[in-house]
Amino acid sequence: MHNCVSIGTGTLWNKLKLAPIFNAELNVRENRKLSMYSFSQTSVVCFNGSYSIPVPFSPPCLLPGPQPSDQYGTRASFGLTDQIDTSRWSAAVTSPPGYMVSLSICSPPDAPIGRWRLTLGQGGLVEFVLLYNPWCTGDVVYMDSEEKLAEYVLAQDGIIYRGSWKYLIPTPWNFGQFEDGILEACLRILEMNPKCLRNPGKDASGRKNPIYVSRVLSAMVNCNDDKGVLLGRWTDDYDGGVSPLSWKGSVEILRNWDTNACQPVRFGQCWVFAAVACSVSRALGIPCRVVTNYNSAHDTNSNLVIERYVDENGQLVQKSRDMIWNYHCWVENWMTRPDLKPGYDGWQAMDPTPQEKSEGVYCCGPIPLKAIKEGELTYKYDAPFVFAEVNADVHTFMKRKDGSTEKIISSVQVGLKISTKSVGSDRREDITHLYKYPEGSDEEREAFTKANHQNKLLQQQTNAGLLIAIKVSAEMKKGCDFDVFAVVTNNTPNGKKCRLVFGSRAVSYNGILGENCGFKDLLNVELAPGEEKRVPLRMNYSKYAENLTEDNLIRLGALLLDYGTQEAYLAVRNVVLENPEIKVRILGEPKENRKLVAEITLQNPLPVPLQNCCFTVEGSNLTGGQIITEKLNSTVEPGQDAKVKIYFTPTHSGQRKLVVDFDSNKLCHVKGYRNVIIGK
């Protein structure tokens, strides 16, 4: 029995769970309007907005969730009327007199989402699922653009940005919210949340509000307080699970959680948490997108300051829980905010990565982007934490061997190039302006004043006598040797004698430092007035290969000590080593239900052979909701191609993404994709 929900264009929305002899269709174009059709012992799918049931007929009664209650507004009884009333639960007869009665049933725009049971006296029982309806003008998640709805609700694949703010890496992701079993998993997330387990009736009533649902999802996508979906891991030890970089989509994660008694899936990091939250939000009808904030501050004590410490060699030492992540991903959900003053509807930041507790639970948001931009830190929810992620001040101190500390001159900005996928294309959209006013503007100062961000208000631009910066080569490919440069400039009228310490260490994307990848200590750097010097540091593959994490990141640090003034200057820069390109060639004419071949190729860029090579692919409406794996039996020598052919059969027309992952013993989790336009 193929039971489905249809959205306007005929896109399959999700499965409905029904009683044996009834079939329901949820038409979300009109007020989450419900239409059903059934007769005798045969069930069929109906797209005409009617439901037929044998007489005799009794007035219907609606019951959501496990404990329907008049107290919480989760029980509705109503009779037949001449016409549908879109403001409340209503039903009207739409068939001519006869043995069969055909009904149209409509829900109010603010009905709680989730599982409902419709009883018709002695006539039968139907179970159906009600979702938010962003096409309905009365719904709290209403969005008035068909192009945006296609992107933020219907799109089953997308792009998530990783890398660094100097080198953004677009990573494909299969959200798969309409794949088999995913709606069931999403509903189970709602039903397993601790609020539902404590008071099912009150929780079911709360689901009319996407603010409430977003906070539930933020908490339940991680498993820190509950039977949530994902367990986070930010080390290289992935025993008992898989590296977060191995995931290509949300489908496998949600299915694993749902079919394994709600045991957490191991392991996730920020982009995985965000992507799963995006899949669940879209499945429930909430417009959602994944965003990436580069140089993202993690402020643990709410003072809007990140304190960093270096030793006398310029190497960062961990003395504080405050961190600057190379990037951090969260999601934005679209909704109205009737709990706030007018003007704060629209995109709301919500973060499912477990970082700090909110009201005793590891969750964050939703908070209007406008509240962050305006410095309104008293607005719900978690405004100070998100404001700090994009606005915190960074203070750097040198910790000497004798235990003393002194502040050093360093220029580090947070909240750079906040990015998301553009509507209708794979291009990047920069949305930094939605979170921040231009630096130095009057509006920025006003926002900082509201937020009591005194450190930023007191900052003054100073023209330092000595300047230090880090420059890099045009190409920094994994497997190659390359140079990086510390550039020192003397802007004073006097000669300078300095010490320059220039080092590099592997680093994970969230700022955890690894081993040394190259180091240089120059005790006597002399600079004439106005002189600039470039000091190279060679990065050898033989040195960095074994120390590099899966993030392919190296942190460069250059510390300049002025012997004359005893002042210290620090420059820090993260560089991303470029992975090779995965090439995907489609053989055959792409059409619905016609087998296709993808020829996938990757050239080994390393000076060493690759062993245990494996390609995995997946794609919504392309691979049948499954992951296809193809292993190579032979070793791939330096410069040689790893090549496989993968067979798949598309099931729906339109543009789809075939997402590819390559893994081996020396080159891990290289990502690629190919857009495939499927004809009818």
Annotated binding site for Ca(2+): 391, 393, 439, 444
Cα–Cα distance, 83 to 85 (Å, whole number): 6
Cβ neighbours of 495 (radius 10 Å): 12
- Distance set, CA 79 to CA 52, 543, 580 (Å): 16, 77, 65
Cα–Cα distance, 633 to 637 (Å, whole number): 13
The binding site comprises: 391, 393, 439, 444
Q: Are 222 and 352 in contact (CB under 8 A)?
A: yes
Q: Are 39 and 89 in contact (CB under 8 A)?
A: no
Q: Are 356 and 322 in contact (CB under 8 A)?
A: no
Q: Are 28 and 13 in contact (CB under 8 A)?
A: yes
Beta bridge partners of 51: 103
Tell me which residue has tokens 């003008």. Answer: 137
Q: Which contiguous run of DSSP H or E holds residue 416? A: strand 416-421
DSSP E strands in 166-238: the ranges are 167-174, 230-232
DSSP reduced 3-state for 547: coil
Q: Are 509 and 236 in contact (CB under 8 A)?
A: no
Q: Are 25 and 36 in contact (CB under 8 A)?
A: yes
Tell me which residue has tokens 């620090």. Answer: 570
- Distance set, CA 396 to CA 55, 262, 406 (Å): 78, 43, 9
- Contacts of residue 191, Cβ cutoff 8 Å, sequence gap at least 6: 66, 114
Cα–Cα distance, 16 to 10 (Å, whole number): 16
From 203, 351, 382, 562, active-site residue? 351
DSSP reduced 3-state for 165: coil
**Would strands 305-310 and 393-399 be described as parallel, antiparallel, or unpaired?**
parallel
From 106, 196, 223, 270, active-site residue? 270
Cα–Cα distance, 432 to 369 (Å, whole number): 10
Instruction: Name the token pair of 60.
Output: 């219907």
Cα–Cα distance, 383 to 392 (Å, whole number): 13
- Contacts of residue 461, Cβ cutoff 8 Å, sequence gap at least 6: none
Backbone angles phi, psi at 314, to 5 degrees: 80, 5
Residue of 172, 178, 168 lying closest to 157 (CA atoms): 172
Active site residue 270: yes
Cα–Cα distance, 202 to 196 (Å, whole number): 8
From 157, 262, 288, 328, active-site residue? 328
Active site residue 328: yes
Cα–Cα distance, 442 to 305 (Å, whole number): 21
The residue type at 413: Q
Instruction: Name the token pair of 535.
Output: 């000091």
**Three-class SS string for 100-111?**
EEEEEEECCCCC
Residue of 369, 400, 394 lying closest to 383 (CA atoms): 369
Beta bridge partners of 129: 115
Positions marked catalytic: 270, 328, 351
